[in-house]
């Protein structure tokens, strides 16, 4: 029926399920608080689809995707609507040894393409449109490293949901009808201590991650004592396993000794990511933290909600 067709248009998601690309950018902005800035930002948000189309056409419709997330702080001013059910500011997780810090950010642009020129061109046009209505907090250029490895040299993203389990894990449904089609997004920028990591034996590294390094085979889960990253990030309850989608990308400035992983997780339920962070930083069980953190320092942490495409374009009307 017409109304069913309309409903599926209203809840059509952003490009949450885009494949891993050769290049990505993570652009984090804060919107200034005055009325004119908010009005400008709202108008740019509403033209997201057009900005994407302009680039895609110029690129002969090659892979180019962009997802926009909006923070809790900016939600009501920018949208004039109540916030999605679980949306909250990123909650700092302070463990005995390591802390998941919470940092500023109102808008996230997660941009993916097969080449960096499209990303630069898009960001240039986007930032011109925002003018001085926003402050840029961070702009990280991610790149695919060999066959999808992170800079710790492990294949990253293997356990991601795909097929029908991808939307089931990432897209809000009837539990929050006003925001069906949207997705919670959490980002954290991690800086690695590569010399210290490379000082570990491959066996130690594999035990920390929970997979073999060369061929990416899962190691058995430890049920007591120090658990691997993979084991502590597997969230299971009576309903089964709760997956999230990770689109982590390496980034680096070798000349400055900067090597990192940009973590980005999409989830239908924000609490699932929160739980993973608690197990990593507080420990599972406390105080046994994730040993990845002894070699990777979280320097940012922000939560956003990436609403359905129609929600964004309706902001203009
Ligand atoms: C699995 C790397 C941070 C959630 C993995 C794997 C690697 C990895 C290599 C195994 C292969 C795979 O399934 O992808 C990293 C690095 C991080 C990082 C280098 C940052 C320095 C995080 C954070 C979260 C997370 C912050 C969640 C809040 C997961 C999940 C899995 C996973 C859910 C899959 C577990 C399963 O097997 O079901 N990660 N990760 N990771 N990671 Fe991370």
- Condensed to tens digits (0 to 9), the pLDDT of residues 256-276 reads 999 999 999 999 999 999 999
Please, are residues 17 and 134 in contact by the beta-carbon 8 Å criterion?
Answer: no
The Cα–Cα gap between 138 and 27 comes to 6
Residue 60: per-residue pLDDT: 85
Q: Which atom of ligand 1 is nearest to the CA of 293?
A: 21
Q: Which residues contact 169 (CB under 8 A, 6 or more apart)?
A: 161, 242, 243, 244, 245, 267, 268
The Cα–Cα gap between 291 and 46 comes to 42
Residue 6: per-residue pLDDT: 83
* Cβ of residue 277 lying under 6 Å from some atom of ligand 1: yes
For residue 229, the CA-to-ligand 1 centroid distance in Å is: 6
The Cα–Cα gap between 73 and 107 comes to 10
Mean pLDDT, to the nearest integer, of 207-222? 97
Whether the pLDDT of residue 95 is over 70: the answer is yes
Please, are residues 21 and 112 in contact by the beta-carbon 8 Å criterion?
Answer: yes
Residue 85: per-residue pLDDT: 98
Whether the pLDDT of residue 49 is over 60: the answer is yes
Please confirm, yes or no, whether 284 is among the known catalytic residues: no
Whether the pLDDT of residue 1 is over 80: the answer is no
Please, are residues 164 and 115 in contact by the beta-carbon 8 Å criterion?
Answer: no
Whether the pLDDT of residue 2 is over 70: the answer is no
How many structural domains is the chain composed of?
A: 1
Out of 230, 252, 302, mutate this one to test ligand 1's pocket (max ligand atoms within 8 Å of CB): namely 230
Residue 235: per-residue pLDDT: 97
The Cα–Cα gap between 84 and 95 comes to 28
Mean pLDDT, to the nearest integer, of 205-226? 96
In terms of residue numbers, what domain contains 243? 2-314
* Set 106, 138, 150, 156: catalytic member: 156
Residue 145: per-residue pLDDT: 98
* Confidence grade of residue 61 (pLDDT, cut at 50, 70, 90): confident
Residue 285: per-residue pLDDT: 95
Give the distance, in angstroms, between the CA of residue 68 and the centroid of all CA atoms in the same chain. Answer: 11
Residue 200: per-residue pLDDT: 98
* Mean pLDDT of the residues in the chain: 96
Residue 85: CB atoms within 10 Å = 15
For residue 188, the CA-to-ligand 1 centroid distance in Å is: 12
Mean pLDDT, to the nearest integer, of 13-17? 96
Question: What percent of the chain has a predicted confidence (pLDDT) above 70?
Answer: 99
* Cβ of residue 151 lying under 6 Å from some atom of ligand 1: no
Which of 55-69, 94-108, 163-177, 188-202 is predicted with the least confidence, judged by mean pLDDT? 55-69
Q: Please report which residue ranges of 189-259 form alpha helices under DSSP H.
A: 194-198, 202-209, 229-232
The Cα–Cα gap between 14 and 69 comes to 10
Residue 159: per-residue pLDDT: 96
Residue 257: per-residue pLDDT: 96
> Residue 84: which of 161, 15, 185, 14 has the closest Cα?
185
Residue minimizing CA distance to atom 8 of ligand 1: 156
Mean pLDDT, to the nearest integer, of 122-128? 98
The Cα–Cα gap between 23 and 119 comes to 8
């Amino acid at each position: 029926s017409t109304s069913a067709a309309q409903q599926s248009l209203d809840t059509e998601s952003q490009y949450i399920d885009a494949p891993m690309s050769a290049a990505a950018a993570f652009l984090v902005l804060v919107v200034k608080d005055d009325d004119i800035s908010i009005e400008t930002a709202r108008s740019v948000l509403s033209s997201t689809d057009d900005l994407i189309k302009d680039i895609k056409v110029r690129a002969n419709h090659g892979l180019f995707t962009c997802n926009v997330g909006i923070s809790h702080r900016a939600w009501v001013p920018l949208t004039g609507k109540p916030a999605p059910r679980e949306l909250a500011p990123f909650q700092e997780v302070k463990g005995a040894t390591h802390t998941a810090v919470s940092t500023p950010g109102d808008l996230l642009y997660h941009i993916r393409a097969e080449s960096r020129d499209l990303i630069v061109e898009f960001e240039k046009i986007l930032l011109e449109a925002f003018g001085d209505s926003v402050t840029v907090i961070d702009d990280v250029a991610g790149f695919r490293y060999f066959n999808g490895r992170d800079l710790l040299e492990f294949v990253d993203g293997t356990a991601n949901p795909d097929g029908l389990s991808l939307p089931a894990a990432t897209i809000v449904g009837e539990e929050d009808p006003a925001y069906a089609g949207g997705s919670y997004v959490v980002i954290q920028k991690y800086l690695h201590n590569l010399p210290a990591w490379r000082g570990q034996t491959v066996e130690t590294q594999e035990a920390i991650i929970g997979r073999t390094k060369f061929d990416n085979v899962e190691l058995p889960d430890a049920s007591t004592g120090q658990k691997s990253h993979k084991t502590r990030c597997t969230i299971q309850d009576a309903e089964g396993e709760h997956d999230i989608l990770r689109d982590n990308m390496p980034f680096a400035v070798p000349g400055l000794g900067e090597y990192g992983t940009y973590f980005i997780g999409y989830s239908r339920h924000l609490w699932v990511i929160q739980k993973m962070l608690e197990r990593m930083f507080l420990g599972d069980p406390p105080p046994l933290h994730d040993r990845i953190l002894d070699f990777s320092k979280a320097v940012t942490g922000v939560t956003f909600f990436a609403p359905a495409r129609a929600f964004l374009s309706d902001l203009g009307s």
